[in-house]
């Protein structure tokens, strides 16, 4: 039985990412394409994975529950013409969240006629080797985009464990480049 479980885990871990993308309606004004095996998280999953006063407006995970995408509205308010200043602010915020950040990409891109602040990076949060549960460092690959619209900021965040980076790094931009936001939030 354990050999079967190891084999199935191996298949899930190494299986190629599905190329088929499905158009997904996040809200009345936001759509994007997600891999076919992604599904909306339950309220319980959201509460566990994104504990916050502000619940995401959308949260999705893959069938193995290892790769996540969330869509949030940030508490910070910006004007659309302040995108460069906002980029610096969000960059500083990211560096404060993690013990280590290795930037792969930092840019302002136009996607579907809207300007997005884009960061792609690897991060690490140190564990606690001396605690009772001996937590190891957590390493993550993240592709995050910020859209300033009508004085609000929508945050699209894709993340997965660092060991899945090679598999998901080509897919993350496809997801992010498919985002369409109509009107306001």
Catalogue the long-range contacts made by 117-121 (C-beta closer than 8 Å, 24 or more residues apart).
Answer: 117/83, 117/86, 117/87, 117/90, 117/145, 117/146, 117/147, 117/148, 118/143, 118/144, 118/145, 118/176, 119/90, 119/91, 119/94, 119/143, 119/144, 119/145, 120/144, 120/172, 121/94
Sequence ranges of the domains in the chain: 17-181
Residue 51: the pLDDT is: 80
**With 0-12 CB in 10 A as exposed, 13-18 as middle and 19+ as buried, what is 144?**
buried
Residue 129: the pLDDT is: 58
As a whole number of angstroms, the distance between CA 157 and CA 68 comes to 8
Residue 128: the pLDDT is: 62
CATH topology of domain 17-181: Protein Transport Mog1p; Chain A (3.40.1000)
Tell me the three state secondary structure of residue 100: strand
Residue 10: the pLDDT is: 46
pLDDT in tens, the chain (185 residues): 454 444 444 444 444 445 699 999 999 999 999 999 999 999 888 888 888 778 899 999 999 999 999 999 988 889 989 999 999 999 999 999 999 999 999 999 999 999 999 999 999 988 665 656 667 788 999 999 999 999 999 999 999 999 999 999 999 999 999 999 997 66
Residue 130: the pLDDT is: 60
Residue 4: the pLDDT is: 42
As a whole number of angstroms, the distance between CA 20 and CA 35 comes to 6
Residue 69: the pLDDT is: 97
Residue 18: the pLDDT is: 52
């Amino acid at each position: 039985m354990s050999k079967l479980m190891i084999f199935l885990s191996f298949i899930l871990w190494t299986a190629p990412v599905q190329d088929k993308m499905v158009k997904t309606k996040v809200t009345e004004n936001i759509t994007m394409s997600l891999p076919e095996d992604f599904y909306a998280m339950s309220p319980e999953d959201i509460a566990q994975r994104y504990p916050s006063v502000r619940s995401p407006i959308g949260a999705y995970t893959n069938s193995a529950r290892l790769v996540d995408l969330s869509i949030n509205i940030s508490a910070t308010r910006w004007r659309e013409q302040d995108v460069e200043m906002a980029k610096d602010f969000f960059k500083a915020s990211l560096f404060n969240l993690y013990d280590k950040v290795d930037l792969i990409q930092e840019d302002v891109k136009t996607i579907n006629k809207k300007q997005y602040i884009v960061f792609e990076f690897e991060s690490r949060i140190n564990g606690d080797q001396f605690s009772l549960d001996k937590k190891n460092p957590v390493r993550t690959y993240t592709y995050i985009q910020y859209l300033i619209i009508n004085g609000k900021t929508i945050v699209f965040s894709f993340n997965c464990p660092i060991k899945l980076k090679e598999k998901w790094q080509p897919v993350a931009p496809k997801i992010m480049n498919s985002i369409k936001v109509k009107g306001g939030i």
